[in-house]
Structure formats: structure tokens, C-alpha cells
Structure 1
């Protein structure tokens, strides 16, 4: 299992993903679920993945392969004319991979994978998409300013209550850390380290990425501080009679 979030604010886009992969209780490893592409001044893209690891890795490998020779390999992420066409291109690759994996007659649900795509291409606004295993996708709106994939139910209430489109990247990063910390404490299949990536609107260049490990002092302060704040808030509620 995994947990990934892509969020849209007035400043741009911000993403976070965990790195745990599981193949049983005694087979746990770390694997990045965030991939980025950048052509400074032209486009910046971030892709988060969740689901069957073989499927997500096959999709990423095909995307990278087609970037090397787009004329010979049916298009490329780095040559798509719009973010919509980029999402459509990735969706078609997802369908292709799952269809091939399931050609032996196995249940397609075994190969399911979902993706969050965000970024900007020159001439457009920053855009955020949720891509399903079936290859279709939806785009973020003012009513849906963030997308989650994977084990999202523990961290979603925090995002819903505290999200503000005018928040700074620093505030959004803290909010995401709280959401992920709550998920980590509730589900062992989501684990550290956590990867963070921000994109500032119209910069057409990705901000430096950040990885939070268990011994990261800021992550530790957020985790402990959030627990303390929850206890304090609980004690401040009016007593039940």
C-alpha cells in the first residue's frame, strides 16, 4: 500500500508521497513513488503512483523509453502540447500495460494502479489530474483542490479541515506532514521516508525536493507537536453532562 497527495494552491502545486512497498509482513522495502520531468522554461511535471508495483514501474519505464525517441515511439511526455494531452498520454500507457499484463486471463484488479499528475506547460495554468487504472482521468477544480491515492482515509479529514488555497508552501508542507503522520500511525503499510516536491506557478522549473526520514528534526517536531495539540484540544472541549 502507499499514500500520495497532490495539492493545488494559489502559489502552485505541492506533492508528497511515502516510499514503502510491501510483499508480505516480512518483505518491506523502500521505493520512491514520485517521478519528475523538467524542461526549464517550457514544462515541469510530477507524477505520483500507487498500486501494483510491477504496473507502476512498467508505466514509468515506457514513459522514459518514449522520451528518448518520441518520433519512433508514439509520442512523448516532453513533447505533449498540453497538460490535458499529457494526462491522456499517460492514461493510454496505463491501459496498455494493464491490458498486456492481464492477457493471460488473470484478474485485471491484480494489476490496478492509479496516478496523480501535476505540473505546467508554457502557455497554460498549472493543472492537476487523477488518472485511474482504466486510463480515464479527472482534473482538479476549486471544489477538489487536492487528490489522494493509496491509503488515504486516515489523512483526508485533516486535509479537509485545514486546507486553505491561500496558504504558503511552508504551511502546505506542514499540513501534508500532519496528514502523513496520522496515516503512518494508523497503517503499517505506509512508511517513511517521505518525499516532498513543490512547483511554483509560472516558474516552469521545479523547486528543490526534500526527503523526510524518521530522524528528521522537523518531522519529529511536527509529529510530537500534533499529538500534543490534539490532547490539548480534547481537554479544552466542554465537558459532557
Structure 2
């Protein structure tokens, strides 16, 4: 019941999450999915969660309460070690709760996006799974999505690349979120948007977006209008192959074994099968 997207770019990181946890005719609830771990001048880490809320909150609490432990996000030497600690927290909750959940017919379902920067290394981004393992974003695939990802994926696939400025990436993330909000009731406002500038080692750009946010309202109105405009500018298919067309749909004078549909034949009474 959520959608989160994050991007690792040359200029830094972009994180966006919604806050819907339940949706139905008479059951709508919200909970913020983004948690920031910040030690200004030393490290900034961002965790976003999707899946079973009880599981993700338990993982988050383990990480928060680990501030004074020998191994914690506050003491991790680099982002890889920090991501390993998040995975360990997932496994700790799994060890405690998975059997009871299975007995109740509930799947151990959680996924996370975790990223940030520790002083002395570059900004990094990871996606974690229910088993506690993870993968890291690379230039060939510089973004991750969790939750209801399919509706917002096309715009990100077409637009995002590592060299993109942070402002454009934030705009793309918001358009991706708007597409998801439009198509799925299980995703909802308000949103948390955090844009991290590489080497800043502190949070400088964060906003909580509700239905009154002027920029997001502009995104929603403009994106819908422009989609309809572009749709109207694309030529309709030309079915008559004998007429000239810049982009013909039918191919004239060319044998095509796929040129006819698969037809079901009606068997007449008395004829052999």
C-alpha cells in the first residue's frame, strides 16, 4: 500500500515516498515511509519502506535504537556496511515474527530503499528485500522503486539518466508519483520529497507535499494536459494501404504470414472433426 522511488545521480540522490498504508471504501490510513538518519558533516542516510507496516516499523525501530550500539548506522564506516546493518535488522525481525505470521496466514512482506553518503565516499543507493539481501544502483540502472511501481515506471525509464540535474530528477519523480496516484487508490498524499546534493553531508532540500502544494498541483494539471496534447498530435493509424501515408500501418504488396488473425472455424453438423 505505497509507492517509493529513489534515484542515484552524478549530482546526488532523490527520494520520494507516499504515506498511504490502507485503502478501501471506509478504511484509509496514513503513515510516513521515509526516515532520515543525519549527522551533519559526517553522514546522511535515508530509509524508505513498503510492505507490511508492522514489519517495516520494527526494522526501523531496531535501527533507530542502535544509536549507542557498537554496530549502528551512526558508526558504519561506509554505505555498504550501513546497508548490511539494515539487512541484519530485517533478518532479526524475520527470526522473531516470520513463524507467527506464517501460522496466521500472513506473508513476511517488506521491501526497502536505502541510500545516502558517509564522509569519505560517494553517495550510494541500495534496494533491500525481505530476505535481508540487497543490490546497489549502478549507472546502467540508477533508480529503484518499491510498492506500486508499475504505474510510475514508464516515465522514469524514458527520462532518468545519471547525468540528469537534481531538479529535473525531482520533477520526474513527482510525475511518476502523480501517474501512480491517478491509477491506484492504495497510494496517497501527503508525500515526502528529499533531494540530497552530493558531498553536502546534511539535509538541505526537503518538503512534505499535500493536496495544497502549488508545485505538485501544477505538475498534476500540466502533465495531464500535455499528455492529451501529444496524444492528439500523433496521427491516427491509416488502414488503407493504397493511400500514401508517412507512417503506414498496413504493408502493401508484401507477403506477411502474420497478416491475418487466427480464426476459429465453425464446425457444421455432420462434418468430420
TM superposition score normalised by structure 1: 0.94
3-state SS of the aligned residue for 2:102? Answer: coil
1:239 aligns with 2:233: no
Q: String of CA shifts for 1:44-81, please: whole Å, max 9, x gaps.
A: 100100000000000111111111x213xxx1110011
Per the TM alignment, residue 166 of structure 1 is displaced from its structure 2 partner at its CA by 2.4
Structure 2 counterpart of 1:5? 5
Q: String of CA shifts for 1:142-181, please: whole Å, max 9, x gaps.
A: 1110000000000000101111322222211111111000
Q: String of CA shifts for 1:8-45, please: whole Å, max 9, x gaps.
A: 11110010000011175422112110000111111110
Structure 2 counterpart of 1:34? 34
Per the TM alignment, residue 105 of structure 1 is displaced from its structure 2 partner at its CA by 6.5
Matches within 5 A, 1:52-91: 52-67=52-67, 69-71=68-70, 75-91=71-87
CA contact 1:95–1:135 (8 Å) conserved in 2: yes
Q: Identify if the C-alpha distance between structure 1 residues 127 and 239 changes in structure 2 by more than 3 Å, giving closer, same or farther.
A: same
Per the TM alignment, residue 90 of structure 1 is displaced from its structure 2 partner at its CA by 0.5
Write the distance in 2 (CA, Å) between the matches of 1:3 and 1:239.
34
Structure 1 runs (4+) greater than 4 angstroms displaced:
none
Structure 2 counterpart of 1:187? 184
Write the distance in 2 (CA, Å) between the matches of 1:200 and 1:99.
37
3-state SS of the aligned residue for 2:122? Answer: coil
3-state SS of the aligned residue for 2:113? Answer: strand
More off after superposition, 164-173 vs 205-214: 164-173
3-state SS of the aligned residue for 1:78? Answer: coil
Q: Identify if the C-alpha distance between structure 1 residues 226 and 33 changes in structure 2 by more than 3 Å, giving closer, same or farther.
A: same
Write the distance in 1 (CA, Å) between the matches of 2:183 and 2:100.
36
CA contact 1:98–1:112 (8 Å) conserved in 2: no
Structure 1 counterpart of 2:159? 162
TM superposition score normalised by structure 2: 0.83
1:225 aligns with 2:230: no
Write the distance in 1 (CA, Å) between the matches of 2:183 and 2:130.
26
1:110 to 83, 107, 112: 107
Task: Say which one has the larger Rg.
Answer: 2
RMSD: 1.5
More off after superposition, 77-86 vs 208-217: 208-217
3-state SS of the aligned residue for 2:107? Answer: helix
Structure 2 counterpart of 1:21? 21
CA contact 2:101–2:108 (8 Å) conserved in 1: no
